[in-house]
Amino acid sequence: MELIIGDKVWSSWSMRAWLVLKRTGAPFTETYVKLHAETTHDDAVAAGSPSGLVPVLKDGDVTVWDSLAICEYLAERFPKAGLWPADVAARALGRAAACEMHSGFHSLRGELSMDLARRETATIAPATAEDVRRVVALWSQLLAHFGGPFLLGSDWSIADAFYTPVATRFRSYGVRLSDHGDVGAAGAYAERLLETPEFLEWEKDALAQARHGGAG
Ligand SMILES: N[C@@H](CCC(=O)N[C@@H](CS)C(=O)NCC(=O)O)C(=O)O
C-alpha cells in the first residue's frame, strides 16, 4: 500500500490516516506532497490524488481519498486490527465523534492550525473557545461513559486518531482545558494521545522533516 501525505509537521488529515494505517501493522510506503506551495494541488494530482488534496491511500487498484474514507476502508480491510469496537452502539458513538471532527470545529481548525514545531500561549477568539468547550465536553462524556483510557474504552480507535491532531493544537497554542470546562479527564486524555508510540514516531519524523525544509 502507498499513503500520499503532506508535510508531517502541518498535515493533520494525513496524520489521522497514517496513525490508523500504522495500527493495522500492514507494510506501506509514504509519498510526500509539499504543502503551502504554489504547486501543491498539481503535485498532489500528479502523485495520484483525484481531489488534489492529501491524504490518499492506494491499495492495488483501489484509490481512496479523504482521511475518514481511508480510515473506514482500513477498518473493513483489516477487521482484526480492531480499529472500531465490536459493539454496534460504541461504534456509532465513535463514528459520531470522528464525523463531528471531520465536518466541524471550523474556528478551532482555522485559528489553531496544526504545527508540531510551534509552542506559544495564544489568545483565542470566542468562536474557538466555544469549539474547545465542545471538544472538552465530547471527550469528557465519552471517557466517563466507556471508562477510558481512550474515547471508546480500553482500545484505541479511529475516534482517537481523529482527535490526536487536536491534542497537538492544544499543546502548541497553550490552550488550558481547565479554562474550558475540563475537570481533569480531558487534559489527561490529551496527554495520553500524545504518548502513543505511533504519534511519537510521526512527531519525530515531522520535526526531522521540518529541520530539512519540509516534505517533497
Ligand atoms: N476532507 C479532507 C481534507 C484534506 C485536506 O484538506 N488536506 C490538506 C492537507 S492537511 C491539503 O491537501 N491541502 C492542500 C491544499 O489545500 O492545496 C480529508 O479529510 O482528507
The per-residue pLDDT for range 168-195, each reduced to its tens digit, is 999 999 999 999 999 999 999 999 999 9
Task: For ligand 1, pick from 53, 68, 101 the residue to mutate: most ligand atoms within 8 Å of CB.
Answer: 53
Q: Whose CA is nearest to atom 1 of ligand 1?
A: 66
pLDDT at 134 over 70: yes
The distance from CA 199 to its chain's CA centroid, rounded to whole angstroms, is 10
**Is the CB of 109 within 6 Å of ligand 1?**
no
Q: Whose CA is nearest to atom 10 of ligand 1?
A: 11
- Please tell me the distance between residue 34's alpha carbon and the centre of ligand 1 in angstroms: 12
Mean pLDDT along residues 122-126:
97
**Is the CB of 53 within 6 Å of ligand 1?**
yes
pLDDT of residue 213: 84
pLDDT at 216 over 90: no
Instruction: Calculate what percentage of the chain has a pLDDT beyond 90.
Output: 98
Mean pLDDT along residues 28-33:
98
Q: Whose CA is nearest to atom 12 of ligand 1?
A: 53
Q: pTM for this one?
A: 0.98
Evaluate whether 11 touches 54 at the Cβ level (below 8 Å).
Answer: yes
| Tens digits of residue pLDDT in 57-87 | 999 999 999 999 999 999 999 999 999 999 9
Mean pLDDT along residues 11-38:
98
Would you place residue 215 in the very low, low, confident or very high pLDDT band (cuts 50, 70, 90)?
Answer: confident
Ordered by where they begin, the domains of the chain are: 2-81 (3.40.30.10), 88-197 (1.20.1050.10)
pLDDT of residue 132: 98
